[in-house]
Chains A and B, each alone.
Chain A
């Protein structure tokens, strides 16, 4: 199948595709979530962590509305809602946090790690949450550690909230021992099932030790240091990456593990960094790759030749466009992304069809005009736009599902394709 890059080392990052294509910059209303939304999946991932937003009623309403649409279970998040006394400086922030954090930890004895999460209002009135977190850590040590990061909309877009959260963890990760072996750190939230699949593959490839960030348990901090190579499993981790490099870790550049080809290239970049022989790599990855190809073929009939438009949302857009165009023959009309990390995205851009229209930033009304004019077969967009576009007769895929569904790796390649095929499939079934 021509979608699969041949197994020669040089093929990983050809300098072509969209590497030199100019990216259109757009400014205007951005129809995106703020970084607080990351709490919705992070609190599920780190099972004994709690996220306390220091913000307004809007923040509380946002997190609960986002969560209410997506999950319906007991939350490990809450909001300390600021009131006028806090704004006017009548109430002492330390006293207030002592009270709120105390009450919270008393109610939730299983919580080992608490994040104080900054918001737009807490940033604008300049509450120093870093200092506050240090104070709370001192008070509640060793029972719980308290860290802070900002998920505010003025600083973070949607998935950047995870970046900020993980970046706040990096400084507290333990140092690896002086003569530590070469180790692998996989960075970015993955569903547990995906993590386990990758861990098995790394084991078979002889890559050990291997750890993941975020960790499932708040106390299992992975060690880091100059003998650590890290690889990003998610494309939105610029700050975390920088923080890891400050600790001496080295990044393995790779496309992201979406689709059969993406997963192979990602795994191969890792295998190369650890000196795995091509024979062993082929032996370990061939079965998964074959299953992925087989699973992809189920959706290909529905997707091949279809025209697609992507609104910016999660920063997953560029890797998804690469996957859809190369492995499913989807024709991309426009790929929007809230932010394009040139360096991390270089291996992806090289693989994109030449001359593709990539738009960074957003002016939602102008973009809607372009989308309507293009009449794509499928539109990737956020929940605020999906039903209105469907009502105009356009098929949509809500982008947020791509964050909550296991989509990475060989075993999920077919599921990922199916997510895009399903809206089209559905349209063929309905006769009302």
Chain B
């Protein structure tokens, strides 16, 4: 048993639904109890999809358990075929149906439907959503992609884009951005899958010269299969960030034999100049915590450190499958990767690291809100806000522009920060004043601990430290009067940090009373 407040990933059949819902002409018959249809609203509400997911649920109840649930599955599958006339079907069980062991694959085979029926084995008590999506996509590709074929010599190379699904974080816009980028490079797209393809399209996958893997969490298993079965190499670089996009262009050029010189010579993103412009000076060395799925987290850390000049003080992922890659990346920043799917562990880490910006998922947005730290969302799990009406990719050069805006916006703006420092005694620039663009609440939470999920003893002076991680009784520090007055002279928006750092410095050295000397010793110690 694992105590779970929020979960980063749903069960594996949700991954299968993301594949099916992204596709056309595919129907999913899911053996599941009443209530599992809640999953439909993820797609219709969060993603605002205008059609129901192509899923038929058996929705069995207790009274059915005494009878014939297998027969119920067969009639549901037959009815779904008759009604929706799909090109292919996937069949499987959700967590409860797995326990009653009805074998949806065998039952569907017995129906002898005139279409391919792909059985899915998605162990709900071991695996999770992304694994379910990857496994489903792999099973479909394996069943439908056929055998290796002769590929004609082409003037423009042909590739598949693999990985986008329904309910994916910015998948809709990433596909558009990368399609345009590849077009400028002289590479054509054969099939985009799973999202945007039909089972018939999957039979054409083998026509392409190589595969572009946009989301390894979903597409790696299928790409590895296609490499073996169809001799198609696949890309490894995820084009999120300016430099990663350039690396991606180089990788594609090498794989396909096109000349990327002209494209690489163009400067296609505003991020490099925006980062170098003086207004961005204030971004320098801001302490950033990065958490998300592995590919987005790794990409975000690279951008944060090398393209915006932040300091990555924490990096982690909930994708255990790609933990090794995240650990490797963490080494680049001299930090230890946090591999965790327990929201409470992540919360403790963010609090402990005293960060100035959180780049995370909607879960970290909760954490950041509580700790009064700015936050930008970089990865699934998603929320209705992560499906903006406007074009806002994460990938490619336009993606880098979007990222610059999205990450910098929650921070105090450069000039504003300087003005607040200059006019800090002005009545309008009191300690409680929030950045003008944040609607007047952000700074407040620094002073007063918000209703915490773990209302453990909280030292009023150091709310950020009052995390579940805090072990033992909180230490109340003695500040002498002069030190306390000196502290007040420090601009309020860094005062909390100065106080925490000084206290940490004092506690590490066993200093009982904090004096002006302790304050400046600590400042020297922590100065960047």
Q: Do A and B bind each other?
A: yes
Interface residues of chain A, those whose CB is within 8 Å of chain B, are: 29-37, 54, 56-58, 60-62, 64-66, 68-69, 74-75, 78-84, 86-87, 91, 96-97, 99-100, 103-104, 107-110, 120-121, 123-125, 152-155, 157, 365, 382-388, 390-391
Known A31-B37, A154-B62; contact A83-B1, beta-carbon cutoff 8 A: yes
B383 near A103 with CB under 8 A, answer: no
A81 near B61 with CB under 8 A, answer: no
Closest 3 CB pairs of A and B: A34-B35, A153-B35, A384-B40
Known A56-B96, A74-B451, A383-B45; contact A100-B3, beta-carbon cutoff 8 A: yes
B400 at the interface (CB under 8 A from A): no
B34 near A34 with CB under 8 A, answer: yes
Chain B neighbourhood of A82, CB < 8 A: 1, 125
B379 at the interface (CB under 8 A from A): no
Interface string of B35-46 (1 = CB under 8 A from A): 111111110111
Partner of B99, one of A57, A124, A391: A124
Bound state CA distance, A99 and B57, in angstroms? 35
Chain A neighbourhood of B366, CB < 8 A: 74
* Closest Cβ–Cβ distance, residue B308 to chain A (whole Å): 28
Total A-B residue contacts, Cβ distance less than 8 Å:
186
B95 near A58 with CB under 8 A, answer: yes
Interface string of B97-136 (1 = CB under 8 A from A): 0011000000000000000000000001110100000000
Interface residues of chain B, those whose CB is within 8 Å of chain A, are: 1-7, 9-11, 13-14, 33-42, 44-46, 48-52, 56-62, 64-65, 76, 79, 83, 94-96, 99-100, 124-126, 128, 362, 366, 370, 383-384, 451, 453-456, 468
**What are 6 contact pairs spanning A and B, CB under 8 A?**
A60-B7, A81-B2, A86-B1, A153-B61, A384-B38, A387-B48
* Closest Cβ–Cβ distance, residue A97 to chain B (whole Å): 7
- Minimum CB distance partner of A87 in chain B: B125
Partner of A80, one of B1, B42, B76: B1
B37 near A32 with CB under 8 A, answer: yes
A58 near B94 with CB under 8 A, answer: yes
Chain B neighbourhood of A157, CB < 8 A: 34-35
Bound state CA distance, A157 and B52, in angstroms? 21
Chain A neighbourhood of B58, CB < 8 A: 29
B7 near A61 with CB under 8 A, answer: yes
A121 near B59 with CB under 8 A, answer: no
A61 near B11 with CB under 8 A, answer: yes
Bound state CA distance, A386 and B38, in angstroms? 13
Chain A neighbourhood of B10, CB < 8 A: 57-58, 61, 65
A121 near B95 with CB under 8 A, answer: yes
Partner of B62, one of A56, A60, A97, A155: A155
B83 near A386 with CB under 8 A, answer: no
Known A121-B95, A124-B99; contact A81-B4, beta-carbon cutoff 8 A: yes
Chain A neighbourhood of B44, CB < 8 A: 383-388
A29 near B37 with CB under 8 A, answer: yes
* Closest Cβ–Cβ distance, residue A48 to chain B (whole Å): 12
Bound state CA distance, A152 and B83, in angstroms? 29
B96 near A124 with CB under 8 A, answer: yes
Bound state CA distance, A54 and B3, in angstroms? 9
Partner of B33, one of A34, A69, A80, A96: A34
* Closest Cβ–Cβ distance, residue A71 to chain B (whole Å): 12
Chain A neighbourhood of B6, CB < 8 A: 60, 64, 75
